[in-house]
Structure 1
Amino acid sequence: MNLVKVAKSRLQIMSEKDWDVLLADVSKFCSKYELDVLDMEDEFVARKKGRRRAEKMKYLHYYRVELFCSVIDLQAQELNQRFDEVNTDLVLCMSCFDPRDLFSAFDLEKLLRLARYYPSEFSEVALSELKSQLENFIFDVRIDEKFSQISGISGLAQKMVSTRKHEVFPMVYSLVKLSLILPVATASVERAFSVMKIIKTSLRNSMGDQLLNDCLVPYIEKDVFVKVTNETIMQRFQKMNNRRQMLLCDCI
């Protein structure tokens, strides 16, 4: 999360101060390869609009405001959407389960705050019990050598199961599992589930999981698959195995 803050700060600095640096680099590049350098004070006119209907602006305004700052704003907006206040707090709280350096990042209050984001899993009464389990849990794992070499929250969950501590601290284990599924519980995953309603129609209701997955991936990643031509697909299919007959498209 510190790196996210650094990225946001750097984008803000780029927007305010780095335009002159970029313009100087572009001018050097143009001079080196004998390319024409635009006069930033000349009037800019959009290609698809007539001079009368086009908004009057200078090249400096177009390239700095319409392009340079707009791209930076889009990147900053993407960061803000993915790491808003709630998501940031969730990630910070989740990181308290990091087992490195004898659970040096452990913070009882943050983990209880994480549990409060799941009221259906942890009621007010359950939170009191969770607090007691967390206090006992951290004391236990810090003196247990089996937990000294693990890395990551997934490794913590696996070690809890192998040592049967998930039975001793069931509420702690539930919170660990919720932390593990948090990275995939995003808007993109929710959109993937909504796509299933489009792909898995009544006519395709009997398809298996593998075929359903194969249909979902191209639909969800349409921006990538639109670049794959039909010719490439046919060649790939043709090279998979020796077939008795050529593809119908090849025959036509």
Structure 2
Amino acid sequence: MSSLQRPGDTRWSSHYKSIQSLKKMFSATISVLRSIANDRSVSKYSRGDAAGALQIIVKFDFVFILLMMEKIMKITDVLCQTLQKKSIDILNALDSVSNTKVLLGNLRNDGWDPLLQEVNYFCEKNDIDILDLNHKFVDVTKSRNKNDNTTVFHHYKFDVFNVAIDQQLNEIEDRFGGQATDLLSLCAFLNPILGSFDMEKVCSLVEKYYPADFSNQERMQLECQLPHFQLDVCNHPELKGLSSLADLTSGLVKLGKDSSYPMVDKLLRLLLTLPVSTATTERAFSAMKFVKTRLRSKMGDAYLRDYLVVYIERELAAMISSDDIIKAYDLANTRRAKFKITEI
């Protein structure tokens, strides 16, 4: 309960749902654990586990952390759900980051008293002893200095409550710092469909963050191509309905306009590699468990990469027929064997 995951991790949402379920069924959970702990027909190991869990959850410390984490996760859940989407609306993602920071700050400044009242009410409702906040805090897990006069109030407010929120704020700040935010803003400034297209900001951010990818001459070409790109995207019937950068990049390639705006196409491809969403990465690591098995431990990197692409994008792979594969194989002319039978 006390460990925190990265915002955006799919496990975060599942933990949030588990906390909500435990809070709603707290009394029923205690009854079940007591029943298992006292049931002689159950193995002693199961009885011991139930008794140990019961001893933990009927304490003030557990209730405090449970309700505190519920409040934190209630704030960060929207951001987590946004980051787990495969295709992200950049402007909404930036708004979610800013809103989450503000709400976490408000919780840190004004959330202590409401949380404490909720914890006390929850403890009274479930017959759990309420700690005196003015008493000296004693940590039974480790020996404390005899001169340490830390109170229960100081421990829970400053060592638990404030620290937990600060960890979340620091995690969000590390992941969405100034550079990351600028790059995400660049994604918004580059998309004419969003109405936030800003050629000057695009050029300045490219000069700032991609000096090794664009020479001075290429940046001048980019500046020349951007106005034409803006008008083309806004007026072309097949491009003006595309909202994401990924769809826009695919549309340019499909229409052959990537050769007309090579610097814009290059910038779009660089921006598509930004690790904004966690969904694709998590899907790739999950797929590794099924693809890179013990029996396939000697699989080469090239074959593994191709295998993962087909596995992760299996919806697209299902659209490719066997005849298309045979035709592509025969056209490659890399092997002497032929699959396709030529009609005479």
- TM-score (normalised: structure 2): 0.52
- Map Cα deviations across residues 106-140 of structure 1 (whole Å, 9 max, x no partner): 11122112322111221222211111100111112
On the 8 A contact 1:95/1:105 being kept in 2, the answer is yes
Which of 196, 200, 212 is the aligned partner of 1:109?
200
2:191 equivalent in structure 1: 98
Q: What amino acid maps onto 1:172 in structure 2?
A: V
Q: Name the CA distance, whole Å, in 2 between partners of 1:125 and 1:16.
A: 51
On the 8 A contact 2:187/2:271 being kept in 1, the answer is yes
Deviation at 1:184, TM superposition (A): 6.5
- Map Cα deviations across residues 131-151 of structure 1 (whole Å, 9 max, x no partner): 110011111221111112223
Q: Name the CA distance, whole Å, in 1 between partners of 2:143 and 2:232.
A: 75
Q: Give the 5 Å matches for 1:93-172.
A: 93-98=186-191, 100=193, 103-116=194-207, 117-172=209-264
> Does 105-114 or 165-174 show the bigger shift?
105-114
1:30 equivalent in structure 2: 123
Q: Name the CA distance, whole Å, in 1 between partners of 2:195 and 2:267.
A: 18
On the 8 A contact 1:93/1:113 being kept in 2, the answer is no
Q: Give the 5 Å matches for 1:75-86.
A: 75-86=168-179
Deviation at 1:96, TM superposition (A): 2.1
> Does 12-21 or 51-60 show the bigger shift?
51-60
Deviation at 1:55, TM superposition (A): 2.5
- The answer to whether residue 135 in structure 2 is matched with residue 42 in structure 1 is yes
1:250 equivalent in structure 2: none
Q: How many residues align?
A: 196
On the 8 A contact 1:157/1:176 being kept in 2, the answer is yes
> Does 48-57 or 139-148 show the bigger shift?
48-57
Which of 180, 188, 199 is the aligned partner of 2:272?
180
Deviation at 1:17, TM superposition (A): 1.1
On the 8 A contact 1:157/1:173 being kept in 2, the answer is yes
Which contiguous aligned blocks of 4+ residues in structure 1 show a shift greater than 6 angstroms? 210-213
> Does 6-15 or 129-138 show the bigger shift?
6-15
SS at match of 1:105: coil
Q: What amino acid maps onto 2:176 in structure 1?
A: F
- TM-score (normalised: structure 1): 0.70
On the 8 A contact 1:90/1:114 being kept in 2, the answer is yes
Task: Flag the 1:129–1:25 CA change in 2: closer, same or farther, 3 A.
Answer: same
Task: Flag the 1:158–1:51 CA change in 2: closer, same or farther, 3 A.
Answer: closer
2:84 equivalent in structure 1: none
> Does 26-35 or 116-125 show the bigger shift?
116-125
Q: Name the CA distance, whole Å, in 2 between partners of 1:115 and 1:49.
A: 53
On the 8 A contact 1:43/1:58 being kept in 2, the answer is yes
- The answer to whether residue 159 in structure 2 is matched with residue 58 in structure 1 is no
SS at match of 2:141: coil
Deviation at 1:210, TM superposition (A): 8.2
Task: Flag the 1:31–1:170 CA change in 2: closer, same or farther, 3 A.
Answer: same
Q: Name the CA distance, whole Å, in 2 between partners of 1:128 and 1:51.
A: 65
Q: Name the CA distance, whole Å, in 1 between partners of 2:303 and 2:146.
A: 52
Q: Name the CA distance, whole Å, in 1 between partners of 2:256 and 2:302.
A: 34
On the 8 A contact 1:46/1:54 being kept in 2, the answer is no
Q: In angstroms, what is the RMSD of aligned CA positions?
A: 2.7
5+ residue gaps, structure 2:
1-93, 282-296, 306-344
Larger RCO: Structure 1 or Structure 2 (Cα < 8 Å, ≥ 6 residues apart)? 2
On the 8 A contact 2:192/2:233 being kept in 1, the answer is no
Task: Flag the 1:185–1:175 CA change in 2: closer, same or farther, 3 A.
Answer: farther
1:4 equivalent in structure 2: 97
Deviation at 1:36, TM superposition (A): 1.1
